[in-house]
Structure 1
Amino acid sequence: MTDGPSAAGTVPDPRQLSDIAVELAGRAGALAMRHQAAGLSVSSKSSVTDVVTDADRAVEEFLRAALAQLRPGDAVLGEEGGTGGQSTAGSPVRWVLDPIDGTVNFMLGLPYFAVSIAAQVHGETVAGCVHNPATGELFRAAAGSGAFLGDRRLTGPRPAPLDQAVLATGFSYDPARRARQGRAAGELLASVGNLRRLGSAALDLCALAAGWVDLYYEGPLNEWDFAAGLLIAAEAGVATSGLRGRPAGAHLVAGAHPLRAEEFFQLLTAAGVAEIG
């Protein structure tokens, strides 16, 4: 393992936190795949389309236990377990975990889901890893050090004209909100090249960083959905926004090549995307 117990009040190097995230994501992904192979127990959360599996819970329990050994005193926010207490011993670090982002894809056997791990220092995300265990792809970033897929440095999407650009987005579990999002997406389709709805916000942001899609927006999101992926996109040079002067965040995450960002963000604003949440 790459790190030992944290010293009270010390601020670790983002690269050290990234190394921890990478190692734990790999192990967590292997655990998820073992659960998938053995057969999944599935239940619902906020709606019948918002599902959780025994693998989601087991992976988060593993991550929490591993972090408690490696970084005792750090706070943890996870999708399935909520906030695991506040930081103790003066630690400025909080970990943000999504054990399986794209649970429906995972349940169906569609190979587009990920373990997402972010580390924040004093509230700012400084390290992140998004790992797709079905494909072996592992995206990582540390603040100020760039973003990578394996050993390949990521440089973001192409500066394609909007009418040729491929746009990725996602939709809410709430039917009424999803209907509003669908109307906005339908309006946007007249101005972009095409649209993809792939089912994992974390991986969509990494796809943007890798240049596999040209544009992305989605919101509202939970912090665990986007914390690691947003850092990876930003470190790849993606311009991000929450529209109307707000930074990207839980209300909305949008991203594009810097040369297309202003036009794209104006298009989203005109379509009413910022008001959907």
Structure 2
Amino acid sequence: MSDLELGALAADIAREAGELAQRRRSEGVSLAATKSTLADIVTDADREVERLIRDRLRAERPDDGFLGEETGADCGRSGLTWVVDPIDGTVNYAHGIAAYSVSIAVVQGEPHPEAWRGVAAAVCAPALGELFTAVRGEGARLDGARLSVSTEVPAGALLGTGFGYDPATHDGDLAMVRRVMTMARDLRRMGSAAIDLSYVAAGRLDGFFERGLNPWDFAAGAILVQEAGGKVSRLERETARPMLIAGGATVHERLRALVTGEGPDA
């Protein structure tokens, strides 16, 4: 398959998975378990949606690897791995808030963010009626329209972020917000990193920062931002909670300076 064909497959599966997630939400959500903390929930729909995605990929791409939030990793033989979050924003989903998404990326190389190269991505936000897609070297799109990150922020940057579910991390997260607000017009916290990154790619947000994201949280969104002309970095990778920052070149560098405490903005 060409990169464009892989992108088309990602988009098709994300759309189908999004329709299933939305249908299950309309039928009523059943909580299946907790993850790291009581606040970090998983629904029966998470598992069903990931199963649909795995089954589609097993039928279409049996030699590819898979890395999913709910069912873990399977090594492949093709050098490609599909990185999947079946419902990013599960808490929003469970509470009937529309900011949730299906996030699917296909990457080349070792199944680790520092080792892979993004090939294609799709983020479907079914309750918002939007499908974001990207293909390596072909740009990022929203329902077919070309996307571009914002480049001018004269009134200050509109930034997105998120907090971890572990209460022990909240003081550090709030301290980081205080530092970053020196460059911000305002802050948005939508509860789905995949949507946040999609919004950066679309120029709706000027930048994004968050600690402790898992690979499936940002794999697709990072490809979208990069293909829309932006930059994405993972900082402090040796720690338990690396920092992800994304945005156009200027916002990205100012975020880096504030996060690391280096440079004139820190």
The two structures share one fold, judged by TM-score above 0.5: yes
- 1:261 corresponds to 2:252: yes
Q: Which has the higher strand share?
A: 2
Residue 231 of structure 2 aligns with which residue?
239
Farther-moved stretch of structure 1 (194-203 vs 173-182):
173-182
Residue 67 of structure 2 aligns with which residue?
77
Q: Which amino acid is 1:19 matched to?
A: A
Q: Deviations over 1:171-219 (max 9, x none)?
A: 1111111221112112322432111111000110000011111111112
Q: Deviations over 1:110-131 (max 9, x none)?
A: 1111000000122322110000
> What SS does the corresponding residue of 1:47 show, helix, strand or coil?
coil
Residue 220 of structure 2 aligns with which residue?
228
1:129–1:38 Cα change, 3 Å:
same
The separation in 1 between residues aligned to 2:117 and 2:233, in whole angstroms, is: 16
**How many residues are paired up?**
252
Residue 65 of structure 1 aligns with which residue?
55
Residue 164 of structure 2 aligns with which residue?
172
Question: Runs in 1 of length 4+ with deviation above 3 angstroms?
Answer: none
The separation in 1 between residues aligned to 2:103 and 2:251, in whole angstroms, is: 27
1:259–1:185 Cα change, 3 Å:
closer
The separation in 2 between residues aligned to 1:189 and 1:220, in whole angstroms, is: 20
**How far did 1:270 drift?**
1.9
- 1:40 corresponds to 2:32: no
> What SS does the corresponding residue of 1:29 show, helix, strand or coil?
helix
With the length of structure 2 as denominator, give the TM-score of the two structures.
Answer: 0.90
**How far did 1:16 drift?**
1.1
> What SS does the corresponding residue of 2:127 show, helix, strand or coil?
coil
The separation in 2 between residues aligned to 1:264 and 1:91, in whole angstroms, is: 36
- 1:137 corresponds to 2:127: no
Residue 24 of structure 1 aligns with which residue?
13
**How far did 1:21 drift?**
0.5
The separation in 2 between residues aligned to 1:108 and 1:263, in whole angstroms, is: 35
> What SS does the corresponding residue of 2:197 show, helix, strand or coil?
helix
The separation in 1 between residues aligned to 2:50 and 2:88, in whole angstroms, is: 12
**How far did 1:243 drift?**
4.0
Q: Which amino acid is 1:68 matched to?
A: R
Residue 97 of structure 1 aligns with which residue?
84
Identity of aligned residues (%): 41
Q: Could you tell me which runs of 5 or more consecutive residues in structure 2 were left unpaired when the two chains were aligned.
A: 110-115
The separation in 1 between residues aligned to 2:87 and 2:49, in whole angstroms, is: 8
With the length of structure 1 as denominator, give the TM-score of the two structures.
Answer: 0.87
Farther-moved stretch of structure 1 (54-63 vs 250-259):
250-259
The separation in 1 between residues aligned to 2:165 and 2:3, in whole angstroms, is: 34
Farther-moved stretch of structure 1 (177-186 vs 253-262):
253-262
Farther-moved stretch of structure 1 (256-265 vs 24-33):
256-265
Residue 112 of structure 2 aligns with which residue?
none
> What SS does the corresponding residue of 1:242 show, helix, strand or coil?
strand
Aligned pair partner of 1:86 in 67, 75, 96:
75
> What SS does the corresponding residue of 1:40 show, helix, strand or coil?
coil
Residue 274 of structure 1 aligns with which residue?
none
The separation in 2 between residues aligned to 1:144 and 1:210, in whole angstroms, is: 17
Q: Deviations over 1:122-167 (max 9, x none)?
A: 2322110000000110000011110000111001124204x62111
The separation in 2 between residues aligned to 1:100 and 1:171, in whole angstroms, is: 17
Note the aligned Cα RMSD (angstroms): 1.6
The separation in 1 between residues aligned to 2:69 and 2:235, in whole angstroms, is: 26
The separation in 1 between residues aligned to 2:219 and 2:67, in whole angstroms, is: 11
Q: Could you tell me which runs of 5 or more consecutive residues in structure 1 were left unpaired when the two chains were aligned.
A: 1-11, 272-277
> What SS does the corresponding residue of 1:99 show, helix, strand or coil?
strand
The separation in 1 between residues aligned to 2:255 and 2:167, in whole angstroms, is: 26
The separation in 1 between residues aligned to 2:96 and 2:21, in whole angstroms, is: 12
The separation in 2 between residues aligned to 1:72 and 1:46, in whole angstroms, is: 31
